[in-house]
Every structure is written in C-alpha cells, then in structure tokens.
Structure 1
Amino acid sequence: MRVPGGTRIWLIVGVLALVVIWIASGVLLRDGEPEAAAGPPEDQRTAVAVRVSQAEPVERLLVLQGDLRPEQVVLVRAETGGQVLAWQVPRGAAVSSGDLLAELELGERESQLRQAQAQVNVAEHQLRATRQLVEDGYEPEIQLDSALAELEAAQAQLAAIEEDIDRTRIRAPIPGRVNERIAERGDFVAAGGEVAQIVNNDPLRATVQVPQHSIDQVEVGQSARVNILRFGVVEGEVTFVSTFADPATRTFVVEVEIPNQDQILPAGTSAEVEIPTQAVPAHLVSPAIIGLDDEGRVGVKTVDDRGRVVFHPIEVVRAERQGLWVAGLPEEARIITVGQGFVRAGEDVIARAEEVLEVGQAEEGEE
C-alpha cells in the first residue's frame, strides 16, 4: 500500500514531536529531583607511625682518649762495680721486693774479707791482753782506750767489706716484672751502672687530658670505666686531677687507677676512659629519625595529645649500638618513627602505633 506524500510528512512531524516531548520530560524530571547528598570529605591529614617512649635516667659521660701507664718503672743499678757472674731470673719473670736478680764476681773482695777478719782477731786479742795489763797495773788506762779504738776500726773495715760483698748480689727494689736485662753475664758494670728494668703494673694508671671547659665535672674519687683494646672494660677510680693546665693545649692531666693484681693488663697501650658526670632523663632513638628544623636546630618530631606535630631540639647524651640517648623530649613522648620527613611542626596528623603499621604492611604483603 502506498502512503500519500502528504500523509508521510505528517508522520515524520509526529515522530519528531514525540522525541522532543520525551527529551523534555527527562530534563524536567531531572531538574525536579533533589541532588544526592555529598559524601563526607576525604581526610587530608598525613598518617605517621609513632612509638611511645618513656624517659630513663642515663649517665652523661665524659669520654676521653688516653694511654695506660705503669705504677712504677725502675732502672736497677749496681751499687758496686764488677763483672756479671750469673742471672737468677729470666726476662719477664715476676719478682717481689728483695728477690735476687743477679750476682757480680767477688774478685779481690774475698781476700779483703779474710784480711779484715784477721785484723779483727788481732785487735780482739790485743784488747784482752791490754785489759789484763791495765788491771795488773803494768799499763796505763790510756793503753786500754787505744786498744779498744783499734778493735773498732778493724770491725768497721770488716763491715765495709761485708757490705761491699753483699752489694754484689743485685736485688729487686720493687715488686713487678723484669722487663729488660740490660747487663748480661760477662758484662762489666761500674758502680751506678744499669743492670735491669723492672715494671710494676699493679695498679695501672689511665692518663687522659681533660679540656678546660669540662674539668669542673671531674674530681678525685669519681668512678670511671676504662675500655682497653682486646681486654674489654675495667672499672677504675679517679685518683689525680691536675690543678694546672698545659699552656699549649689548655687541658688538665687526670689519672684513673685500675687494679691489675694478675699483671694481665699491659702498660703503654691506648685506652678509652669514660667518666660519668651526672644522670639525666633521656630517650633511646634511632639516628634515622633525627632531623633539622627551619632554624637549623637538631631535633626529633613528636605528636602531642591534640594530634599535632611538635619539634623538640635535642642533646645527645650517649651513643650506643642500639641508638642514641637524647635529652630534650618530654618525660613521655609519642615519637614519630615513620613519616617524619613529610610533616612539619604544627601540622595535624593521624598517629598510628608502630605495631599497627607493621601488622598492616605485613598483611598487604601477604595479599
């Protein structure tokens, strides 16, 4: 069936009219509907991890480098001349005061001893005879005085020879160890010549130089710790504090005495001396969380009770393997351990405990 042209035009107009009505009804319906309620605004605060830390009393230490010195070093000298006959102790031997170290040859001293002894015998006989003559009236009293003087002179000569012979036996003047045998067997030493060196290492003295700005923190009787390479830490006590500074370095000599009864610790080695000066409240922190503020001060960031970041300038009290003990934080502090580089002082943040953050990261890793 063929549709007339006029009718076809009216059909097209009718379809267009229906489309316009449909579009218009959609717009009107949309304008009439109320807008959906806007969702809550997203939280723009930065999340950081915090660790609650409680201050602990920590000793403030004065750490100094020094060296260990023996209690006494003595050069043993011969009191009489002669050739070394024999040594009675090896090098390195431990000796007590008065122990025999070496002997010198007697030489002519043996004949001098016999001669002196003979003179004493003659003088004693002469004194007995003179006393008898004086008592019998054959000699004046003055002869008895003369005989007595001769006996005393002979006895003095004998004592001098015996003393000289005793000096050929060289003995240790102090307890310690024979560090060096200077004159060996066969060597000739004159009176006053060096024979041996004895070192007494009990106690040892750690000697350090204390800067002038710290000398008021050190006094005799303070406890100290001495760290000796390969021997560890030994407890000691300050026994000497100089009252006159070195003009060149402006430092004061301080000595710390440490016991060494077994003579195990060596003298002459370097040592690190720690002298506790006072106890201060401090927190243990990782060096990684320490930063600078806008003024260039070194410090640590925390989160206060209102959820705001606070920057605290700090002072390092002591360094250990586990971290740094620092002063300048509150007694109890929520220290930012993760994210401190992304927040500023005064900024509001979301504080999450380290443990919670670690658990969340672990769960995400498992997924």
Structure 2
Amino acid sequence: MMSKVLGGPKTWVIIGILALVIIWIASGVLLRDDETKEEVRPAERRTIVAVRQMQAQPVERLLVLHGDLQPEQVVMVRAETGGRIENWHVQLGAAVEAGDLLAQLELSERRAQLRQAQARLNVTERQLQATRQLVEDGFEAEIQLETAMAEMEAAQADLTAIEEEISRTRIEAPIAGSVDQRIAERGDFVSTGDEVARIVNNHPLRAMVQVPQHSIGRVRVGLPARVNVLRHGMVEGEVTFVSTLADPATRTFRIEVEVPNPGRDLPAGTSAEVEIPTEEVLAHQVSPAVIGLDDDGRIGVMTVDAEDRVQFHVIEVVRAGREGVWVTGLPDRARIITVGQGFVRAGEEVIARSEEAHLMHEDAPVESVAQ
C-alpha cells in the first residue's frame, strides 16, 4: 500500500514542482548576494591634505660670509731721535689729524747746540761779506772768497742739522685717527726707533671675508653689501676688492668690503657677518616643515595642481630667516601642501582643502571615500 501511495504519478509531479521552486528561490538569493557584494566593494580612497595658496615674491639672493672687521690703517709711531719724554699733548683715545703734536722730547743740550750753530753762521756770514769787499778792492785773492763761502755754507748746514734734530723731538701723528695706545709715558727715555704710540684709523672700516670658489663668480667690485657690526646692527658698505688668486689651502678668494665710518664710532677688530645681494629672484617663503626629500634624495616641496594631483618640485634655498625659508623652483602661483605631505606621493590624486577648512575638520579621518 505504501508503494502505491509513493509511486502515484501525481506525487512525482508535486515533488518536481517543489524542486523547481526551491531551485528558483535559491538562484534569486544567490543573485542578490552577488549584487550586494558588488555594491559594497570598497571604492577608491583619496588622502585629505591641507594646502596654502602662495604667490612668488621678488627676493634678494644673498651671499652670506663671515670674516673680520679691520681698520683702514694701524700705525706704530716711533721716536725719530733719542731723549726723555717731556710731555704728552693728547689723551689716550683722542682723535688726531695728521701732523698733530702727540708728545715732546726734552731738548737738553740741543738748545746749546742750536745757539752755537746760529752764532757760527753769523760769524761766517760777516767774514764772507768782509772777504768779498777785500777781493773787490784787490786786497785778497779770489781763493779767499771761495774759502769764506765754503765756511758759511758749512755753518748753515750745521744749523739746519740741529734744527732738524730739534724738530724730531716733536712726536707727531703720521695719520689721522685715534690714539689707541701710549706705549711710553712722561719721563720715559726712548731711543731712535722705539715705539711711542699706536694710531688707529678706522675710517673707513674694511670687512675681510673669504668667498668659496663656487660662488666667486657672483661677486664683483662695486656690489653693495651689508655688514653686521657688533652693537650697531647692519651698516651699508661696498665691495672694493676681489682677489683673483684662491688660497691653495682653502680654495677661497679674499674680498674686501669698505664700510664708511666718518664718526669713527664703529669698532674694529671684531668678527663680521657680511651679506652681499648678488641678484633678485622670484621665491616663496615656506616653513622648513613642508620641505622634504623625494625617492632620489632631492630636497623639495609638494604642491597640488589644478586636477588635485600631487607634484614634487625640487627647490633651491635662496635665504633663511626667522619667519621661514625663501626657496626657488616652485610655480609662481602654487598650492603648497602644509599638512599631510608625509602621506602622499607625486602623481597621487588627493582631496585638497585650504588650511582654514582643514582646521574646521581636524577630527576628520586622514582618508575619505571618493565621491
């Protein structure tokens, strides 16, 4: 009986229909699962970066050098004759002009020598006059006149010599400047050639600096310069000398920058920082934080172009300051990446926001799903 029930034709028809329904339902579920999987497939994701729109500005390209600030001239004043210093006529540090009396040596026996020479000259002059009259009257031979003239000339030479000796007891300033040192004081005995004082002429001053061989082509005589003088700040100067021979030890060239100092109030002998503007270029002022290296180790800055793609620009530092670094190598108008440059690479498409907008979304994720 059981066999009869299961083996009826209607039963098999029903089973077949049920199987078809199950297969249809299963196929629909599978299709929906595939569609769902396709719909939730991860979309391409782009990095969010902050950018700042910047415009290049004209900037001086500076050659910054370090050296010494030297006076125009330093002269050691020496005694031209021996004697004891009788008196100083200037104070230490006094400003003097060429020819001013610095100190006086005692004349001592020179006074007596001067009177003796003057007396002898007076005698020989009278003898010459008398001899000339006798020769004219025929009472003396011509040779006597020549002898009298020779004696008078010798007396004149002796007088000139002692006068010159006395003049050398006046120790005078050979140049204009200031009395930087008094080596011998009142009462000291000095011999011929002994140092008595030092005169320093620091108008103008000269900054002596060394230029590396790769930069010497940027320097020429006549270029303006700025010199940082101790306690006085920056003062204007001019390049007055450029050596044509490099130091074989350092491969550098010596140059001189002249700094006017009419008041002689600028100090000499100090270290000096010299800035020489060599040309004017268009540059951007950026923070050192935005400067990085590419895969080849080149220094540069990342920007975003009009299609929001990252560009890497190799840069050259023109000058540095407290507010940032001036660099060349960027487009005149550039959208510089200021936040997020460490997460992107050149050629990558990003979502670029202004710095202001980025600050408003500080809690946003680094990546955002592309729209």
TM-score, normalised relative to structure 2: 0.84
**CA offset at residue 294 of structure 1?**
2.0
Q: Distance in 2 between matches of 1:126 and 1:110?
A: 25
In structure 1, what is the equivalent of residue 202 of structure 2? 201
Structure 1: which 4+ aligned runs deviate by more than 6 Å? none
Does 2:129 match 1:128? yes
Q: Distance in 2 between matches of 1:343 and 1:250?
A: 42
- Secondary structure of the structure 2 residue equivalent to 1:203: strand
Q: Distance in 2 between matches of 1:299 and 1:213?
A: 22
1:123-162 alignment runs, 5 A limit: 123-162=124-163
Q: Distance in 1 between matches of 2:245 and 2:346?
A: 48
Q: Distance in 2 between matches of 1:229 and 1:74?
A: 24
1:38-49 alignment runs, 5 A limit: 44-49=45-50
1:98-247 alignment runs, 5 A limit: 98-247=99-248
In structure 2, what is the equivalent of residue 71 of structure 1? 72
1:209-288 alignment runs, 5 A limit: 209-288=210-289
Q: Distance in 2 between matches of 1:151 and 1:330?
A: 92
Name the stretch that deviates more: 343-352 or 192-201.
Answer: 343-352
Q: Distance in 2 between matches of 1:260 and 1:193?
A: 31
Name the stretch that deviates more: 263-272 or 238-247.
Answer: 238-247
Deviations 1:19-52 (A, max 9, x none): xxxxxxxx9xx99xx999x89x988322222111
Deviations 1:222-270 (A, max 9, x none): 1111112322111111111112222221211111111111111111100
Does 2:313 match 1:291? no
In structure 1, what is the equivalent of residue 18 of structure 2? none
Q: Which amino acid counterpart does residue 96 of structure 2 have in structure 1? A: V
* RMSD, matched Cα: 2.6
Q: Residues 101 and 170 of structure 2 are in contact (CA less than 8 Å); yes or no, is this contact kept in structure 1?
A: yes
Instruction: State percent identity of aligned pairs.
Output: 70
Q: Distance in 2 between matches of 1:359 and 1:226?
A: 46
Q: Which runs of 5+ in 2 are unaligned?
A: 1-24, 364-371
Q: Residues 69 and 272 of structure 2 are in contact (CA less than 8 Å); yes or no, is this contact kept in structure 1?
A: yes
**CA offset at residue 135 of structure 1?**
2.2
Q: Which amino acid counterpart does residue 96 of structure 1 have in structure 2? A: E
Deviations 1:266-294 (A, max 9, x none): 11100111122222221110011111222
- Secondary structure of the structure 1 residue equivalent to 2:241: strand
**CA offset at residue 53 of structure 1?**
1.1
Figure out how many residues of one structure are paired with residues of the other and give that number: 334
Q: Distance in 2 between matches of 1:126 and 1:53?
A: 100
Q: Distance in 2 between matches of 1:65 and 1:267?
A: 15
- Secondary structure of the structure 1 residue equivalent to 2:295: coil
